[in-house]
Structure 1
């Protein structure tokens, strides 16, 4: 009797518990949605956005800048090692040395497109990029163990493969977090890491090459590879913790901040920064290859990197001033420090003004003036001064991939491939440049400078053509912005509307404000 009376009571209790649990779940979901929308409220939006950008600037930027510093230090270590006996110890002639420089790009260039396709498809770039960093750090360290020309050649090939993931991947990752008006300065800070690495790398090399000769019976140039490689590996492990993933799944952001990060980018382009479900891996590649701007940007990048190919030979150039090895490496630092400052100021103004062409081309014109001075003077002071102008020309390249990202913003699959194609083809300029600065043309290198002047002139003309194309496309946007959108474009605007809590019509109205930056 007692058990029979308790049965319904227990059953009612279970039902009551279930109802309460469901109510709590619904309330929790409701509160979560409310919390997600809280940061989008006009009263909170500005401060919340500043806090989000500050958090990214404190974690994402320092990490990728640090990686990029070591990226280029590892890449140019062979140039510094040459000054302390690498060529003699491995019995390498000048043609073979040029091949050692060039072969890195033979693996680096073709690997960039598949790497960025992978990066766009995976959900955890915080694992992928650091893994590649650790891999190239290990390979770079093993370069110090090379005993022959063939061994050095193999090491350089395998350094180039994992390095291919970084620079185009870093630019793509930045474009997944920062708006068009924020991207140029951040990308310039990243590229400033490269310029800083030229200065810091030369100073580091000077210290290692002058202080480690013969330690434990090992040549100093071998210690250079060992030490720099180990530092890179340590930074790779640190990056696993520090780097973000994407706006929708970064663990160290709250759900509200994740939503805000997605909404910012959707508002910036009037579309969600996502690929449509039916777009395959090859869709982005096909779209990029069909866009004539990608081809033009690729030739611009290739010709300008050939025009700036002195970067890989800079310690050799400063050695022509006829000072000791240590002094030559120390003299290599100040021009790069100035270049880094110019790069950041130039990019900051590019973000503020929204202008792209002049901020890219004017530094090239400064480098052309530097080459002209180098050709026309034989004085040590004049030639050293010309090197400052030459290095400042790199401020133009710092914004090239930013302009690609601005000119080809959506869909992300197309943007990621476009960035990889432009940077990959562009680095063919570095490959060709490995043979432009021939030893027999030194110490004046006039023929090399003539080639570089021609290349930077070509880059300027093609960049002007791209500017004209973007002006024309903006005029077309004005004519077409009242037409109905269909297919993938409509889906991305619908997704942007969902993220922002807007109607499709309201999101479409915001889309009308988008214009290409030129």
Structure 2
């Protein structure tokens, strides 16, 4: 990586073609609408990719209800270990993969290629015979899946303006939210209809079918995903010039400025910025509170229904969560505010934890699951907020997104052990831990909100003193 030249940049604002003209006024607005619409259509495939990313990482939860533990003779904490081990490789791969993506500048190749690899590994999980086999499969699955989330976040942050980013983050991320529900519904059909087919247990077919689907979709995605504005082939010259210039106008950097930082310089910029470490720690703690997501089928099973009904009941809370996510992120972009919507989402989820903590009533607990699922809406806004915070520096943004997401994923390792079976069926201690973690993380995000707000006020005072804008639009952090 140290040999990377300064000429490489995933957001080359300085590469605007001066010979190309951008229509002004009304004509430009029409061209921009067509550009964003074309981009949204292409990016929409990420919804399906994200769904498969979540399904292949979490399908062990559905398989557990169909005898995975018994068939593989798992004992004690071995099931929790196979859930958590996937995050070791998942964490380790995120930073180097995003640095490589910044250098390669070809997400349309890199992202689907990693999908093919993890799809094959997920499929092979179905042939495992014991704890060692599934442990190794899950371990390597994490390495293959690691580049996906930071790569996707870096890709969309290289195309959209700051007040477009939250709703687009929600669009491409809602696949994981929906798959938390409909993945269970799909699993229900496989688990109830494939038992004994070709002499195989139904849970094995779950891995065979879902892993194969990932490989097929990944191959198709290579022809649909964009790269970056300067090297995407299906853009017209006018669209390419507009795609680059509108980011420059939104404060993403200026020609000859920080956009020419190399990949290694971007890494150093990220490592030396305390905001990266603070957000990583806050998100790590919040991921502990999100641990209920990977145990959601188990939590729903405490309502007392059979496996098929349990998996069907998993879906409705996540459908509502998806609707709420779009509404929240849309208002977040429209109002150009972030933290207040994170607080609203976290408060709703906290209420869900409190209800489940206090009662075993079936109706109340199922209602609480709808409330808990609303935490995903705040997560979508959070990712848009983090990308906004490092918007002006693409090399740093690539490293920062990967570092924050990678370090935060360690919270999933901790969270895998928050729901031991001996704490069920009430899981009161588990809900208490999630509630406390959510409160601490929300407070830490509040500290970041106050800091960025002070920086904005300082920039406003400086501009008033100098009577000059520091960029085309006077950059401000969205808070």
The TM-score normalised by the length of structure 1 is: 0.86
Aligned equivalents of 1:363, 1:117: Cα separation in 2:
32
How far is the alpha carbon of 1:340 from its aligned partner?
0.7
Query: Which residue number corresponds to residue 59 of structure 1?
Result: 42
Which residue is equivalent to 1:409? Answer: 391
Aligned counterparts of 2:45 and 2:64: Cα–Cα separation in 1: 30
Mapped partners of 1:76, 1:41: distance in 2? 49
1:65-464 equivalences under 5 Å are 65-269=47-251, 271-272=253-254, 279-464=261-446
CA RMSD of aligned residues (A): 1.8
Q: 2:251 touches 2:473 (CA, 8 Å); kept in 1? A: no
Rounded Cα–Cα distance in structure 2 between residues aligned with 1:74 and 1:339: 21
State which drifts further: 394-403 or 79-88: 394-403
Question: For each residue in 1:343-382, what CA deviation from the matched residue of structure 2 results, as whole angstroms up to 9, or x when unmatched?
Answer: 1111011000011001112111111110110011121001
Q: Distance in 1 between matches of 2:234 and 2:364?
A: 52
Partner SS, residue 456 of structure 1: helix
Cα distance between partner residues in 2 of 1:410 and 1:140: 37
Cα distance in structure 2, aligned partners of 1:276 and 1:180: 17
Distance in 2 (CA, whole Å) between partners of 1:341 and 1:94 is: 38
Say if 1:205 and 1:224, in contact at 8 Å, map to a contact too.
Answer: yes
Which deviations, in whole Å up to 9, do the C-alpha atoms of 1:29-82 show, x marking residues without a partner?
A: xxx966x21x3322411000000000011111x211110011111111111001
1:514 aligns with 2:460: no
Task: Provide the C-alpha distance between the structure 2 equivalents of 1:114 and 1:483, rounded to a whole number of angstroms.
Answer: 42
Determine which structure has the larger helix proportion and give its number.
Answer: 1
Structure 1 residue 460 displacement after superposition: 1.3
Contact kept, 8 Å, 2:185 with 2:315, in 1: the verdict is yes
**How has the CA–CA distance of structure 1 residues 33 and 285 changed in structure 2, closer, same or farther, with 3 Å as cutoff?**
closer
CA distance in 2, matches of 1:311, 1:52: 36
**Structure 1: where are the runs of 5+ without partners?**
1-31, 485-504
In the alignment, does 2:21 pair up with 1:48?
no
Measured at CA, do residues 259 and 270 of structure 1 come closer, stay the same or move farther in structure 2, by a change above 3 Å?
same
Separation (CA, whole Å) in 1 of partners of 2:260 and 2:57: 40
Q: CA deviation at 1:410?
A: 2.2
Question: What is aligned with 2:5?
Answer: none
Structure of greater Rg: 1
| Count of aligned pairs | 463
- Cα 1:383/1:362, change in 2 over 3 Å: same
Shift of 1:480: 3.5
Deviation at 1:510, TM superposition (A): 4.4
Cα deviation, residue 482, structure 1: 7.6
Check conservation: 2:102, 2:263, Cα contact below 8 A.
no
**Alignment partner of 2:159: what SS?**
coil
Give the alignment's TM-score, normalised by structure 2.
0.93
